[in-house]
Each structure stands twice: as structure tokens, then as C-alpha cells.
Structure 1
Amino acid sequence: MSKVRRAAHAGSWYSDNEDDLRNQLGTWLGKVKASHLPARAIIAPHAGYSYCGACSAYAYRQIDPTSVKRIFILGPSHHVRLSGCALSTAERYQTPLYDLPIDTKVYEELYSCASFESMSLDTDQDEHSLEMQLPYIAMVMESRRGEFSVVPVLVGSLSPEKEQYYGNVFSRYLTDPDNLFIISSDFCHWGRRFHYTYFDKSCGEICQSIAALDRMGMNIIENMQPAEFTKYLAKYQNTICGRHPIGVLLNAIETVRRNGNGYKLNMKFLKYAQSSECTSASDSSVSYAAGVLLIQ
């Protein structure tokens, strides 16, 4: 019997009822235009769907399921210390819609690099950054049910050198049109409870300062500049929880461009949102952004 990672956050972070979940995701997706098809990578948030589900739809709507056989999911580690990247010990990921099989062949290829470790099933199930992408994946890929696999990767607190290393590892998968990358990340976590209260008063209200700070980082990501993104994070300490998975993607893009194979890459953010509008020091919020990478 195959080892299954259960949907540990279903019923709390999102609905565990198949019909309710399907209707909710379908409603959000139905309100968004497929303006940037076919996505080869997306950046999507991983908070509870009541907060970020509508924003995520802007990224997921850009996926063309007919061209995807394999989905890499890169999410940050929130609960365990990790200096590299870790792979799941499960064989399938459960969702309220249907289970998603893990690509064991790609896992074998990654393990052969000797730079990937395994995470325990408990660690896997505790981590919401991977799980919150799964129902959306199941929804948009339903026409290909049973014909695609997932490659979940838990990304630790990587140095710039390690982001470059893992970016190089994943670059060859990024250029394969059968593959899709999902980068799981929220943006600024603002407020005393997050120990982050950066405020540029010249922007206006606190929420406007947060938006300007996030937009600065998003512009660097759109320009696909990993070194500049590292400098930006060092300067402003913006609490982008998926900064390391984003860094891995940016370095993978840079490797592709450096190899000069004639690929045309375009990164664009389609939606930005905040969980609430902060106007005083006692407020708090989390920012969400939906981005898409096209490769021609």
C-alpha cells in the first residue's frame, strides 16, 4: 500500500468538502482571464483560502493543463531548520478532490545530486506551504487526472550560493515544456506579531508603504535579477516567506539565460492583495501576489 500524505490542513485552511471546495475554486478561477498562457512557472500564496484564494486564481488560471505532465512545487520550510532542500517520503499527496502521485523518477534524479535530504511524514504534513497549492493543482489539472505527477520540494534557509546551486539543478527541468513550476510564497508579513514594522511615511498610510515595498521586490523578480533580489532582502529585510524558493527560480532562470539557447523569458505579476489595510502600529497584515513566467 502506497504511503499517503494526508490533507492535514483541510477543514481549517480550506474546505474539506469536495463540492464546496470545487465550487469555491471554480468561482475564483471563473473571474480571471487566461491572459498569459501557458505558464511555465507561477508564484502563488499559501495562506488560508479565505485570505488568498482569490489572488491565487490569477496565477492558476494561466496554466494550460494539456501541456503539463509534471509539476514541481517549491515551498519554504516554516517549522523545521533546513539548510538545503528536502523531498517527501510519501508516494501520493491527498486532496479533497483526488490524490496526486509523486514523480519517483524525478525524485531519483534529484537524490543522485547528493544535495537533497528526506523530510519525515510529520514534517511534510505540518508544512502548509506545499499543501495549500495542492487543491488548486487538482482543480486546474482535472482534465489530466491520472496523467500527471507532482515533485514537492521543501526549501530551507539557503545561502545565495545554495540558491544558485539549486537553481542550476532545476534549470534543466524549467526548459522542458512538459514541466510546470509552482513557487509557494506570501509577501510582506507586517506588524508587531511578525516582528516587522518597516514604514516609509513618504508613501502615505502603512498599507501603502507595505505595497510600495512589495512592489519594489516584485519589480526585481519581474526583471529576473537574483543578485538584486538578494540585495533588496538584505537592505529592507522584507518578510517574504518564500524568498528562498523565489531565489531558486530566479537563479534557474539566470542559468537558462546564461546558457544562451535562445529562450525568451517573461515574468509578470498579475495580482497583488493584502489581508487587511494597516493604518496604525497595532495593525497587522500579510501580502499576497500572483505571478507567472512564460518561456518561448
Structure 2
Amino acid sequence: MRGKDFELVPIMVGALTPEREAIYGQLLAKYADDPRTLFIVSSDFCHWGTRFNYTFTDKSKGPIYKAIEWLDHQGMDLIEQGEPQAFTNYLRLYGNTICGRHPIGVYLQIAKYAQADFRIRFLNYDQSSKCYGMNDSSVSYAAAVVTAEDQQC
């Protein structure tokens, strides 16, 4: 933000119900319509391993790290679709340990209630390590950008 005058408004989101995510999304949607506003939502993705109490596996996907990648990409695809309820259903179905699931849910609601049409696109994905066995552990990371439909990125 070198040389730019800006105001930072941090919003910390804890554990919310989908209904609360929708309420906050509605309240914040008007700010998303202002081109001077920038939202930054931060979250890790899957925390896999016994130390995280989460060991989703699907042998049909190959090694464990590939199953984790598949799992994360299912969530990422739903986020890109911009459907908050579909993302909530995914979380309920798989229990993926996405730390920022509630801020992501709020942002999906913001995009839903905003006047502008937003496009969410993931640019990068990685894992801290490749899990092959039940003694391994990993944290996944993904980066996305959101643009208004009339903008290019």
C-alpha cells in the first residue's frame, strides 16, 4: 500500500452458524460494492493427521496426500461457485478442518448479497508435506483472488 492513504478495519470471525454467516454477509455486502474496499480473508485448508484429529482417507484417490488434495479441491470448487450453502454442506459431509471456514462462509455471503457479480478463482494450492501413512501430518494452503465480473485478473 506504499504511498496510498488507507484505513484498515480488522474483522475477526469466530465460530458462527451458517445463519450468522448470512447475517454478517448481508451487513458487509454494501462495502464489497465499493471499489475502494478490499477484503482479505485468510485461512489454511486441511489439517491432516492424528495430531489434528482428522485423518480423511480415500484409497481410490491414491496416496493419502492425493486424497487430501482431492478433498481440498472439492471445497475450492464450491467456493469458486460462490454458493454458501453448498460449501456448508461440504463441510458437514467431510468435516474438512479448514480453519477459516467461517470467514470464508461470511465472504461467500457477502458476494451473494452484493450488487456486483464477483468471480472467485483459486490461483495456487500446496501442502506442507506429502502424507503417505497414518503417522504423517500436513497442512494445506490455497490462494484465491476475487474480481468483479467486469474486471480481469
- Correspondence 1:82-231 to 2 at 5 A: 141-144=1-4, 147-231=5-89
Structure 1: distance between partners of 2:91 and 2:132: 24
TM-score, normalised with respect to structure 2: 0.95
1:287 aligned residue (140, 148, 151): 140
Structure 2: distance between partners of 1:240 and 1:185: 7
TM-score, normalised with respect to structure 1: 0.50
Q: CA deviation at 1:149?
A: 1.5
**Mapped pair 1:268 → 2:128:** no
Structure 1: distance between partners of 2:133 and 2:108: 34
Specify which structure has the higher proportion of strand.
1
RMSD: 0.8
Structure 1: distance between partners of 2:58 and 2:91: 16
Aligned residues of 2:24 and 2:106 also touching (Cα < 8 A): yes
Give the letter for the 1:232 counterpart: Y
Larger C-alpha radius of gyration, 1 or 2? 1
Structure 1: distance between partners of 2:72 and 2:107: 18
Structure 2: distance between partners of 1:160 and 1:245: 11
Q: CA deviation at 1:264?
A: 3.1
Q: Secondary structure at the match of 1:143?
A: coil
Aligned residues of 2:111 and 2:117 also touching (Cα < 8 A): no
Q: Relative contact order, CA 8 A, sep 6+: which one is greater?
A: 2
For structure 2, the 5+ residue unaligned runs are none
Structure 2: distance between partners of 1:237 and 1:264: 29
Q: Secondary structure at the match of 2:134?
A: coil
Q: CA deviation at 1:143?
A: 3.3
Give the letter for the 1:242 counterpart: G
Q: Secondary structure at the match of 1:273?
A: strand
Q: CA deviation at 1:142?
A: 1.8
Q: How far does the alpha carbon of each residue in 1:69-100 deviate from its partner, in whole angstroms, 9 at most, with x for none? A: xxxxxxxxxxxxxxxxxxxxxxxxxxxxxxxx
Q: How far does the alpha carbon of each residue in 1:101-136 deviate from its partner, in whole angstroms, 9 at most, with x for none? A: xxxxxxxxxxxxxxxxxxxxxxxxxxxxxxxxxxxx
Structure 1's consecutive aligned runs of 4 or more residues displaced over 3 angstroms after TM superposition are: none
Q: How far does the alpha carbon of each residue in 1:5-25 deviate from its partner, in whole angstroms, 9 at most, with x for none? A: xxxxxxxxxxxxxxxxxxxxx
Q: Secondary structure at the match of 1:210?
A: helix
